[in-house]
């Protein structure tokens, strides 16, 4: 009997190197990307130029800079951006680059300043970016020409987005208008940061995002699965046998939750525009399992003081996904934001921030370990999974594989991404 190699066996040698532009144009719909997208420096540079320097990027919660003068610095590829609350209490964004001879101005990830003073020759800027002081200049020196370079910034119900583009995607305000009614009831503008955890994953940023956009792997999240229905995108007839009982519980909880949302006037219908616009997004309210209140192992609130005066804590959660780099989970008692920022082709920062009511008292209203347990454990599990994917993809034997129907949002993400690269390459 002769044996024939299956069609998917790896080629003995790799095809000659293909250009990045060719790889973008050859991308096979419904399949994971070719290896260079995940492993090469060239694609990281392209991703920064075509995606991170052009789109609206989620960078922080407003609660990270509650008072005038409070700042956060964010690294986006080679860029460093200062977010600072000005004296009118608006969030401003500037390039972290001195207008004299270019020194980086602020070095800490966050802090508080009266003015922004360059450590090199002490040029001094106000928190509105104006140059206030530059010693020993010639009489014709005009300080109004040397204010900090601004970065476009928008706040959406307490979430801060920046765009490094000269002309950012024009659809952000429309997206914000549609999403704001979902988020606003959770009062994130009045929240405080209970915890922030930075996790560096040994994987390309797209693997981190792709992993977030499916629950095909959710059996790997036993803690999360106690409170979160892992039914991502399954229609009634697609639910696998192992999840049948969960699905029945979901249907009952969903009917209940909808009645609650209706009675409280909370918008809950899914809006999904993940790959049809530059500011792709998906928003949805859905029930949680067990007590149905929060992301804890028994489904009960982790914070006694709710985010707002909700008449019930049993609101399930509001999920928001934004392209290219973020997702959010809002429950009645706390919210969690996730920002993904590339560090290297195979290293990615996942910054997770837990927000609670500004008046909630640690140790009295909440225990930080209980508050962070489910998502922190889930993140650590995901870090292992995406690092394995990165390692497998780094082998010359890797070939792109097909997405299952439950991975349709992975396809949406990749499709959105490929569209951005094509737009960039076509200038």
The residues that touch ligand 3BY, with contacts defined as CB under 6 A, are 212, 215, 218, 232, 319, 327, 378
Site string for Fe ion, 73-112 (x = CB under 5 A): ----------------------------------------
Shortest Cβ contact with ligand 3BY: which residue?
215
Residue with Cβ nearer ligand FES (98 or 326): 98
Is 107 a residue that touches ligand FES (CB under 6 A)?
Answer: no
Instruction: Please state the closest distance from residue 63 (CB atom) to ligand 3BY, in A.
Output: 20
| Residue 131 is a binding residue for ligand FES (CB under 6 A) | no
Query: How many residues bind to Fe ion according to rule CB under 5 A?
Result: 1
Q: Residue 132 interacts with ligand FES (CB under 6 A)?
A: no
Q: Going residue by residue from 283 to 322, which x/- string records binding to Fe ion, judged by CB under 5 A?
A: ----------------------------------------
Minimal distance, residue 290 CB to ligand 3BY, in Å: 16
Count of residues making up the chain: 427
Residue from 23, 24, 98, 340 binding ligand FES (CB under 6 A) = 98
Q: Which is nearer to ligand FES, 115 or 312 (CB)?
A: 115
Which partner, ligand FES, Fe ion, ligand 3BY, none, binds residue 327 by CB below 5 to 8 Å per kind? ligand 3BY
Among 52, 71, 123, 182, binds ligand FES (CB under 6 A): 123
Q: Which stretch binds ligand FES (CB under 6 A): 42-50, 113-121, 272-280, 310-318?
A: 113-121
- 280 near 323, Cβ under 8 Å? yes
Give CA–CA dist 274/233, Å, rounded. Answer: 14
Q: Mention every residue, 6+ apart, whose C-beta is less than 8 A from residue 405.
A: 233, 238
Kindly give the residue spans of alpha helices, DSSP state H, lying in 265-393.
Answer: 368-393
Q: Which two tokens stand for residue 206?
A: 């797209």
Output b/e per residue, 74-111; b: 16+ Cβ within 10 A: bebbebbbbbbbeeeeebbbbbbbbbeeeeebbeeebe
Residue 104's Cβ-side half-sphere holds a number of Cα atoms within 13 Å equal to 12
Non-local (6+) Cβ contacts of 242 within 8 A are none
Question: Residues 72, 64: contact at Cβ < 8 Å?
Answer: yes
Q: Is 201 in the site for Fe ion (CB under 5 A)?
A: no
Does residue 386 belong to the site contacting ligand FES (CB under 6 A)?
no
Binding status of residue 103 toward ligand FES by CB under 6 A: yes
Q: How far is CA 284 from CA 48, 174, 238, 316, 329, in A?
A: 29, 17, 20, 11, 10
Q: How far is the C-alpha of 396 from the C-alpha of 14, rounded, in Å? A: 7
Structure tokens at 138: 């010639």
121 binds ligand FES (CB under 6 A): yes
In the list 120, 198, 298, 380, the residue contacting ligand FES (rule: CB under 6 A) is 120
Give the number of other Cβ atoms within 10 Å of residue 380's Cβ: 12
Part in contact with ligand FES (CB under 6 A); list of ranges 7-15, 71-79, 98-106, 331-339: 98-106
Report the sign of the C-alpha dihedral through residues 146, 135, 123, 111, in that order: negative
Please tell me whether residue 47 binds Fe ion under the rule CB under 5 A. Answer: no
149 binds ligand FES (CB under 6 A): no
User: Which residue, 130 or 233, is less far from ligand 3BY as judged by CB?
Assistant: 233
Residue 9 DSSP code: S
User: Scanning the structure block, which residue is given the tokens 């059996």?
Assistant: 219
Strand (E) or helix (H) holding 47: helix 41-47
Closest distance of CB 405 from ligand 3BY, Å:
16
The count of C-alpha atoms lying within 13 angstroms of the C-alpha of 175, restricted to the half-sphere facing its C-beta, is 24
What are 72's strand-pairing partners?
83, 110
Q: Which does 416 bind (CB under 5 to 8 A by kind): ligand 3BY, ligand FES, Fe ion, none?
A: none
The single residue listed with the structure tokens 């439950």 is 406
Across-strand partners of 152?
A: 163
Tell me if 106 sits within 8 A of 96, measured CB to CB.
yes
**Nearest CA to 79 among 110, 47, 53?**
53
**What is the smallest separation between the CB atom of 25 and Fe ion, expressed in angstroms?**
31
When the beta carbons of 175 and 215 are compared against ligand 3BY, the nearer one is: 215
Site string for Fe ion, 347-386 (x = CB under 5 A): -----------------------------------x----
Minimum CB separation of residue 65 from ligand 3BY in Å reads 25
We find the least distance from the C-beta atom of residue 126 to ligand 3BY, in angstroms, to be 39
Q: Which residues bind ligand FES (CB under 6 A)?
A: 98, 100-103, 118, 120-123
Q: Which residues bind Fe ion (CB under 5 A)?
A: 382
């Amino acid at each position: 009997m002769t044996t024939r190699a299956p069609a998917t066996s790896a080629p003995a040698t790799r095809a000659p190197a293909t250009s990045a532009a060719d790889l973008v144009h050859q991308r096979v719909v419904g399949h994971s990307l070719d290896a260079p997208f995940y492993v090469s420096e060239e694609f990281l540079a392209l991703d920064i130029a075509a995606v991170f320097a052009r789109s609206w990027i989620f960078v922080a919660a407003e609660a990270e800079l509650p008072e005038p003068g409070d700042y956060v610095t964010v690294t986006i590829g080679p860029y460093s951006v200062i977010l600072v609350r000005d004296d009118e209490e608006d969030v401003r964004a500037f390039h972290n680059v001195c207008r004299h001879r270019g020194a980086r101005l602020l070095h800490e990830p966050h802090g508080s300043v009266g003015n922004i003073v360059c450590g090199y020759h002490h040029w001094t800027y106000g928190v509105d970016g104006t140059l206030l002081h530059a010693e020993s200049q010639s009489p014709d020196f005009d300080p109004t020409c040397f204010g900090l370079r601004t970065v476009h910034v928008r706040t959406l119900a307490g979430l801060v987005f920046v765009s490094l583009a000269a002309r950012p995607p024009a659809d952000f305000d429309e997206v914000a208008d549609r999403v704001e009614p979902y988020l606003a009831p959770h009062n994130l503008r009045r929240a405080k940061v209970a915890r922030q955890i930075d996790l560096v994953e040994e994987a390309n940023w797209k693997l981190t995002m792709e992993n977030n956009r499916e629950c095909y792997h959710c059996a790997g999240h036993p803690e999360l699965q106690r409170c979160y229905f892992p039914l991502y995108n399954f229609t009634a007839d697609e639910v696998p046998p192992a999840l049948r009982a969960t699905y029945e519980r979901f249907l009952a909880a969903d009917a209940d939750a909808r009645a609650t949302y209706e009675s409280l006037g909370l918008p809950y219908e899914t809006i999904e525009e993940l790959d049809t616009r530059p500011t792709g997004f998906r928003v949805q309210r859905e029930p949680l399992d067990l007590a149905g209140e929060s992301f804890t192992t028994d489904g009960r609130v982790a914070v006694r003081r709710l985010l707002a005066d909700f008449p019930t804590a049993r609101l399930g959660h509001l999920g928001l996904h934004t392209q290219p780099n973020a997702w959010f989970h809002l429950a009645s008692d706390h919210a969690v934001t996730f920002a993904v920022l590339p560090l290297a082709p195979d290293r990615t920062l996942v910054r997770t921030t837990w927000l609670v009511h500004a008046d909630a008292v640690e140790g009295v209203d909440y225990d930080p370990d209980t508050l962070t347990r489910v998502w922190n454990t889930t993140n650590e599990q995901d870090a292992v999974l995406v690092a394995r994917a990165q390692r497998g993809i780094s082998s010359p034997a890797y070939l792109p594989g097909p997405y299952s129907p439950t991975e349709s949002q992975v396809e949406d993400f990749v499709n959105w991404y490929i569209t951005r690269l094509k737009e960039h390459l076509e200038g």
